[in-house]
Each structure stands twice: as structure tokens, then as C-alpha cells.
Structure 1
């Protein structure tokens, strides 16, 4: 099989927005145990921005094609691949290479999309909601009647955390841009503005949070720990996005994570801390994703899609990331689905 010509996003170097380009390139046939997939939609998230800035933990060096997850149709099987047939609809936690017309991925990381599931919903569930699911059900173990605080309620993962916690009967509070407060109140949450810190006094006044989810990291983890319920609460840190959002210089998240987890060593402290990350090699990844697929098909959950960019618009998506409004997940449409391989 010959190489194929494709269009793809490329981060040519780290830092400046000019390093994000849409290029014509070639892709080789899939190697053994890999499947070549025709990408339909890619997720677009803070991971893309951090990779462009060069601050995503352990990222590979530029040039690289971003795109942490995708939904697409199997195009060609590599040798020894028999799980899927051309045309099958699959999702993948790809980490890289999703913002491209074709992608070669290990067969073991492809998950079939059940019939009848909307493909935009499927790709958003793969990363955004699957991340939230693990934090709500396995890490914090949120239960009915608890008070939960979430930073970034209007974001992709933050919104998913909110809805999953509400499904369990929790009261949800959190931070979000002022422009999204009315919509979040309509969803049953109580939002605050992060920067004025009124949320710290307000949460302590009502007895604190039984669970707090914080993707900002650094000093924000200290603040979130301070609002935990005195009888015992659980702070779940994930990400480390504060420098990205504030325009600050790169700061390693490792010392902050170490400090976060060290709080568990304080004698007689009723509060717990965890740092959460999602990985495609985790034994929980595929079962929890399939559970989310089931919940979506049953109508228990629905992903709001904040924005869909075309592949050629990816540089603009990077430029406007911090100023974009709305609620929910962001996607990149790579190709229309014609139902063919």
C-alpha cells in the first residue's frame, strides 16, 4: 500500500501562535498491529494549547500534530489486525495526531461506537466526560446530599463533573466566567467568579465542600483545600492550567502535585487529596467509556457542544481559546461522515 496525502494541523515549534499551521503531508500505511482511521472529529482542549506552549507534561518535541481524541471510520487494517473492518465507527484516546485526515493508531486503543450514538457526543465522551466520570465515581465517590465545588463549570470537563455530580444528588457550586452564570444557574449550579475569591468565604459559611475538583493547580489547590468541609472533604486536582489561563510563564506542575499529595500525611487531618489523570492503558478506561455511551443512549446525559472548528481553522481556535465564551466541549471537524471507509 502506498503512502497517502493528507491535510493536518502541525505545531512546528512551541510558544508563538504562528507555530500552528495547517499543512499538506503524507502518511505511511499502518504498521503491524495498527489501524489507519479516517478522522471525522477531533476533540480540542486545553491539552492542545499547552502542547503549543510547550508546557504539557512529558509531551514529545515539536513538530507534532495535536488532537487528544477522535472519532472516525476504520480505513485500512495493518497486519495482524482483525478486530475491525473498514467502515467501522471507532473512537480513540490518541494523545496526538487526531487533527489529521488519517491517523495510524494501535488497534488496542480503538473502541467501537455503538449504533445510534451521535458521533459528536461520542468524541466528547471519550476524553472530557470519561475524565470526569473517573473523578466523580472512583476518586471522590460523590453521593447524594454532598456539596461539590468545581472550578471551570462551563468548561468541557467542568460541565461533565457538574452533571454527573447532580445525577448522584449532589449540590454543585463552582467558578466560571460571569457571562456563563445565568446558563449555569439554569442548570442547577451556583456559580462564582474565580478572581474575586468571594467563593472561599461563601463555601466556608455553608460548611464547606465535601468534594472539590480543581484543574487550575498551584495556588488554586491551596485555596480549594481551604474550603473543604471540616468534618472531612476530598480535593481532587487534575491538570495544572493556571499559567495557561493567566498568561504566566511555564511552571512545572510536579512540585505543586507533590505538595497536594503531601497533605495526606498531616496527622489527624480529616481531609484527603488526590491527583487524577486519565490514560488509555488504564483498565478502567474502556469500561467507563462504554458506561458513558450507555448513559448517553439512555438520555441520562447530553454533551453541550460549545464550538465546532473546521480543520483549516485550528490556528484561529488557538488564538481565541482564552476569550471564547459558551459552555461545553470544543471539537474540530476534520471530515464529513459519508459512512465509508
Structure 2
């Protein structure tokens, strides 16, 4: 039986994404095969496409960090009781596909009645937000947080989960997205026309407790300046590397160097770098526990992801362009079936 998937043919812009057809894989020992219903689109996929994301397979391969689907095959040593169940998984690669074989330990069961599009929307973005809040920054009720890119997939997740945690929320975004930030309980800051460091000082008096920074580069130093004593800076991305006329690898390298230098400042403020892939590898128990918690919150109506756009799998290139243009609020999802 054949299946279709999107592959990166070579590093470059969205035009390097191609739909191909191959024989459907059979699950090996310890694996399940998932008929993918939907996959999320994230900036990490763009980094893969550009050839600057570490630890990925040799080109050509399929990007796709998270999936939702139905188990339709099991390998040796895996219970046939999983057949027919809806599951989600953090795949890191391979999600832009109609079918995938993955280790059984990577899947998490989706509670009955949960919409699959909502389910896939919590895998990467909400798990990232949850772990940064509760596993890295160890937030406490009443603390103030600043979120850069607060209208994006992780940003909106941080706002929603931050509100549940009883935090005081501030978020940077373009003016057209301020309504979304306010609706989710945050105080919006116009990063185009305002100095966010000065604005935070004006709004809070002495700064914030935690900054979540996906921008990187020089923005990290400015984020650090907004922290009050004992504050934490959590870096988790390199968006500045994709600004026009920037050398991507150089900007990523200087971001990591800047983080290392900020860590050396002896002033009671702390600096962290977060990677969900690294966290999953080091703490697989956290991955299962946290994603299970989020799926149950979803089933209970405590969280509701913002779905920015649903596109068919063959329009993956358009999905990438929407993210690169910052033209969406929330999660972009590719429908694979």
C-alpha cells in the first residue's frame, strides 16, 4: 500500500518541500504505525528546511514535530489492544505524512471525545509552555512574566497556562494581535513602536520575574534587563536568525554565546536554555506526565488552543510562508487525511 509524505529535497525556502509517494512502512519490534490525521507546523520545521536544525536525518526526509492519528499497526512486543486508538506523539521529524512508524513509548492516548486538531495543538506548543513554566522556571502564583511573540503558538499557550497558574502576564506582539493577548489575560506591548524594557519598567516599577524569549540575539540582553532581583530568563528559540539579511548560523551561535555570558553575571538572576527534544530525551517521564495532564485539561475544557489555520498536507509550503510572515495567531495545522 502506498502513502504520501512531504520531504525536504535540499536546504532552502518553502519551494524545496515536495510531496512524494512511497510504500507504507511496517512497524518493527516495539513500534506502532499511526495513520496520521493531522500534524502541526512550527518554526522548528522551518529551521529544518533551512538546514540549521541539529540532529535531524540526512536529506531527503519529512519534517513534522507533532502528530495525532489512529494506531493501525503494531510490531512485535506491542499490545494489539492499541489498534484503533487515537494517539498523539512528539515525533520531532516525520509528521508531514499520511503514515508513520514510531516507538510505542512515544505515544500518548487521547481522551475520548477530544477533537484531534485540538489534541495535536497541545503536543509541541503547550508541552513546551508547560515545561518552561513548571519544570524550568518553577513559577509561583502572583509572579510576573513577559512573553515575547505572545500571539504565536507557544506564546498563546504560555498566556493560557500562565493564567491558570495565577501569574501576572505581559506579552509583546504587533498591534494587530493585541486583542488576542488581552483576551487571554495579558497586557500587550507593541514591540514595533515601544521600547519593551522601558514599558515593563513603567508598568511594573521594578520589572518581571520571568521572561520567555524565543527571539534570541541581542533581544536576550534587553530581556535580561527587564528582570527584577531573583528573576529567570528562559531562552527557547532563534527567531532573530531569520530576520532579513541575517546569517542564520552566525546568529544562532552568537545567541548561545550571549546566553553563556549572561549566565556569568553574579546578580541573583538566572538564565536557562530550553529545548523540548532535549528535555524529552533526558526526562521521558516528564514528557508523558505533562502531555497527559494537558490532554486531560483539554478534555475538561480548562484549555482551548487557538487554531490559526487548517491546510491540506500538500499545502505545507503555504503553511511555512504564513509562519515566516508572522501572518497568523496561534497554531497552524496540516490535515493529512
TM-score tier after normalising by the smaller chain length: over 0.9
Q: How does 1:136-285 map to 2 (within 5 A)?
A: 136-205=133-202, 206=204, 207-229=206-228, 231-246=229-244, 248-252=246-250, 253-267=252-266, 269-279=267-277, 280-281=280-281, 282=283, 283-285=285-287
Structure 2 length normalisation: TM-score? 0.92
User: Where do 5+ consecutive residues of structure 1 fail to align?
Assistant: 336-341
Task: Call closer, same or farther: CA 1:19–1:81 in 2, change over 3 Å.
Answer: same
Residue by residue over 1:52-90, the C-alpha shift from the partner in whole angstroms, topping out at 9 and shown as x without a partner, is 111113333311101101000011111221264321111
Partner of 1:338: none
Alignment of 1:64-79 (within 5 A): 64-79=61-76
Work out the CA distance in 2 between the residues paired with 1:314 and 1:84.
33
Which ranges in structure 2 are unaligned for 5 or more consecutive residues? none
- What does the per-residue CA deviation read over 1:296-323, in whole Å, with 9 as the maximum and x for residues that have no partner? 1222111111111111111222233222
For residue 76 of structure 1, give the secondary structure of its aligned residue in structure 2. strand
Secondary structure class of the residue paired with 2:230: coil
Q: CA RMSD in A?
A: 1.7
TM-superposed deviation, 1:270: 1.8
- Provide the rounded CA distance (Å) in 2 between the counterparts of 1:84 and 1:265: 52
Number of matched pairs? 330
2:37 aligned with 1:40: yes
Aligned position for 2:290? 288
Alpha-carbon distance change, 326 to 317 in structure 1, aligned in 2, over 3 angstroms = closer
Alignment TM-score, normalising by the size of structure 1:
0.91
What is the distance in 1 between the residues matched to 2:28 and 2:16? 29
- What CA distance in whole angstroms lies between the structure 2 residues aligned with 1:81 and 1:247? 50
What is the alpha-carbon distance in structure 1 between the residues aligned to residue 328 and residue 90 of structure 2? Answer: 24
Q: Helix, strand or coil for the counterpart of 1:251?
A: helix
SS in 1 for 2:89: strand
CA shift in 2, pair 1:136/1:96, >3 Å: same
1:218 partner SS: coil
What's 1:317 paired with?
319
Instruction: Single out whichever of 198-207 and 43-52 deviates more from structure 2.
Output: 198-207
CA distance in 2, matches of 1:324, 1:232: 33
Indicate if the aligned counterparts of 2:71 and 2:87 stay in contact, CA closer than 8 A: yes
Shift of 1:245: 4.3
Secondary structure, aligned partner of 2:162: helix
Correspondence for 1:120: 117
